[in-house]
Structure 1
């Protein structure tokens, strides 16, 4: 049985990813950490606690670890607000009380604790910045040997980014830009990394037809939550959104849904290109997701949400 530790940054895609992990069979969730990045930390932690109350039926003693990591470059405020709205959704608040606890340790130390106490190497799924992992490695480098594989949503290797800031040249992806030094720290390790970059999910846009599909299946509570969650996001033609985080999570659960290639990559940490990940002969080996099997992806996602 695959054992997973999930670290995310609290926007809708991240919270849907957590829901899918709660619903997935044949895995064991060891822990969850939330970082104050693409979503605000307070509603992110609260929403995860409520989702655990509502949908966790198999994982014992789950607690949500709050990160105290801080940004080098913080996400735009407007992007982060959706987490507050998600946390207010009626389906998560009908009970009126929350049972799932916060973990006693901050997320990077909670990660160390869960890794060191695991009886076998575990899978890390990270859909936000890599800062908690980088800090964990600095505190205890030995945990590197307790990680079977890291699935990370971040970066891109084709030179296009989604950062439009005065201190950036537009070539970097936001999770890498949030803390370029953390990316370098993790890349300097020997951890096996499978990267879902901006170029990995072009078959999986957040479209009106997909929203309608979720709406048509709202009789399933998990499907209803997904539809309600994505209704909080309004995309525009010039900034189309894709299911980056969800693909990363589904890739960890079902490796057969993606096509990959091997690459060598390095990260730029300073200057206007800080956070950009480039292919380099002297870079570290990574596995890059290049495409997804759209039909199989949606089939598996539907199966989980209808469980």
Structure 2
């Protein structure tokens, strides 16, 4: 049984990822925290508390931690608003109350506390910037010894990014760009890393066919919530770009490693200064990561449906 800590940055796919962890069998979820990045942190934390109230099938004793980390480069405001809309969805508010508590400590200290207290090595899953992990490592470097593996959605090694603004050259991915220095800190650690980059989920686009599939299963509460949530995603990272299941693949690959068909070993470094800040690039002297290069589309959506239909 895997012991998992989940840290995310509060947009729709992150919140869906949290829901999947709450629904998954045969794991122990010891912590959930949100950082103020792709989604505003206050509604993101509140959504996770409500999700835990409604969908915590295993009954894990959870508190939701709020990060106090701050951006080097903040996400565009228009992308971040979706967490507020998700928080107002009726299914999350029928009880009229929130029972699951906020953690007393900020996310990076909550991470240290939960990981150090775990009797089993922890699988750490992060679908946002790595700042809370970097700060946790700076607070207590020994947590690296109790992290079995880090699954991170971030970066790109094929030359294309999703940052389009005047202080970036477009070669970087947003979770890396949000805080390149945090990524540099984590790369200096000994924690094994499996990276789901922008190029990792090209078999897994968000399509109208999928939306109709979810609509046909709307009698199932978790499926209905996901269908409504993805209706809020109208602005992809680049206006003409396709949205993919980057964060959800990260979660499902941690739960079901067989979803990943192929990977590549790369030695990498991150650029921290200038217009290329946040760019991951190959470097023979760099830190080794495992980059996901292909996923099993059929198995991915099979597991996605299985988890959501458990409610």
- TM-score after normalising by structure 2: 0.97
Indicate the SS of the match to 1:239: coil
The reply on whether 1:250 has 2:261 as its aligned counterpart is no
Displacement after TM superposition at 1:235 (Å): 4.8
Alignment match, 2:240:
238
The reply on whether 1:77 has 2:77 as its aligned counterpart is yes
Q: Distance in 2 between matches of 1:280 and 1:215?
A: 46
Displacement after TM superposition at 1:261 (Å): 1.3
- Summarize the alignment of residues 49-88 of structure 1 with structure 2, pairs less than 5 Å apart: 49-88=49-88
Q: Distance in 1 between matches of 2:70 and 2:155?
A: 19
Displacement after TM superposition at 1:305 (Å): 0.5
Question: In 2, are the aligned partners of 1:196 and 1:248 still within 8 Å (CA)?
Answer: yes
Alignment match, 1:276:
279
Question: In 2, are the aligned partners of 1:29 and 1:59 still within 8 Å (CA)?
Answer: no
Displacement after TM superposition at 1:260 (Å): 1.1
Question: Over aligned residues, Cα RMSD in angstroms?
Answer: 0.9
Which 4+ runs in 1 deviate beyond 6 A? none
Alignment match, 2:309:
306
Alignment match, 1:189:
189
The reply on whether 1:29 has 2:29 as its aligned counterpart is yes
Alignment match, 1:225:
225
Indicate the SS of the match to 1:238: coil
Alignment match, 2:168:
168
The reply on whether 1:267 has 2:270 as its aligned counterpart is yes
Q: Distance in 2 between matches of 1:4 and 1:11?
A: 20
Indicate the SS of the match to 1:58: coil
Q: Distance in 2 between matches of 1:170 and 1:242?
A: 18
Q: Deviations over 1:75-119 (max 9, x none)?
A: 000000111000000000011000000000000000000011001
Q: CA separation of 1:265/1:59 partners in 2, compared to 1, >3 Å: closer, same or farther?
A: farther
- TM-score after normalising by structure 1: 0.99
- Summarize the alignment of residues 81-120 of structure 1 with structure 2, pairs less than 5 Å apart: 81-120=81-120
Indicate the SS of the match to 1:28: strand
Displacement after TM superposition at 1:240 (Å): 1.2
Question: In 2, are the aligned partners of 1:32 and 1:64 still within 8 Å (CA)?
Answer: yes
Indicate the SS of the match to 1:242: coil
Displacement after TM superposition at 1:60 (Å): 3.0
Q: Distance in 2 between matches of 1:130 and 1:206?
A: 25
Indicate the SS of the match to 1:288: strand
Indicate the SS of the match to 2:240: helix
Alignment match, 1:286:
289
Q: Distance in 1 between matches of 2:59 and 2:77?
A: 34
Displacement after TM superposition at 1:189 (Å): 0.4
Question: In 1, are the aligned partners of 2:35 and 2:66 still within 8 Å (CA)?
Answer: yes
Alignment match, 1:206:
206
Displacement after TM superposition at 1:153 (Å): 0.1
Question: Which stretch of structure 1 is more off in the superposition, 176-185 or 213-222?
Answer: 213-222
Displacement after TM superposition at 1:59 (Å): 3.4
Alignment match, 1:4:
4
> Number of paired residues?
307
> Structure 1: which 5+ runs fail to align?
none
